[in-house]
Amino acid sequence: MSEELNFLPSLTGSFAKPAAENPTVEMVEAAYRHHGLHWRYINTEVGPENLGAAVAGARAMNWAGFNCSLPNKIEVIQYIDGLGESAEVIGAVNCVVRREDELIGENTDGKGFLKSLREVVDPTGKRVMMFGAGGAARAIGVEVALAGATNITIVNRSPGRGEELVALLNDKTQAKAAFEKWDGDYSVADGVDVVINATSIGLYPDIDARLALNLDSLSADMVVADVIPNPPRTNLIKDAEVRGCKVLDGLGMLVNQGITGIKYWTGVTVDGGVMRTRLEELFDA
């Protein structure tokens, strides 16, 4: 057998539930192909009840790393060996990296969002309002605060998680954070610069869902961002565009997460345009 032939690709993948609507596999494999990397990405359906066994399997099969999506981002921490700096502050992991013999949890959610946001507005000195207080919201809140946002309002239906995130932001960052209970249609306050949906409202298959939001409270000087990649043009994005807002779809965040994750795994900085193009092909965006 010729020395060049190698039938053992390096393995990466994802543990999520549900997994079928997550397009990350197409995006990452497009980057691997484009850059001639002998790597594969395997999308699997794994919930918290099987997560320990899945992580043990990834160790046994020498995976180079994996993503954790809902509902595993906090649950996975007990099964890995350590946390990177931002993952430790955030308290959630979406990207696990094999470093020598250890599996280390990182968080690229907030980093991906921040890179995407900076393409349209610098968060320094800005007032941010965010729907949601789950894993994505925690990651985005921390990264936006560390990037210099001065005020962050967390709007959530359950006060427990919302107030916990506010306490985290006030304790670990320079931003001033406040909680508001989400009850009925929420009105965005005057002076807010960036509105973020960090909930799963509008995610496939429930694409007709709308945030309980008073659309008349959106103004043309606001940036409105949605973290949902599937579909990229959620009702929130469409509604905000009609009101003249600058909009940021979930594809930008997903692509930038992918760039960061692949760099962690392979050491290669991949071309984000290749990944975005593949996602746009899939979604006719």
The set of catalytic residues is: 73
Other beta carbons less than 10 A from residue 52's beta carbon? 14
d(CA 91, CA 253): 19
d(CA 97, CA 12): 9
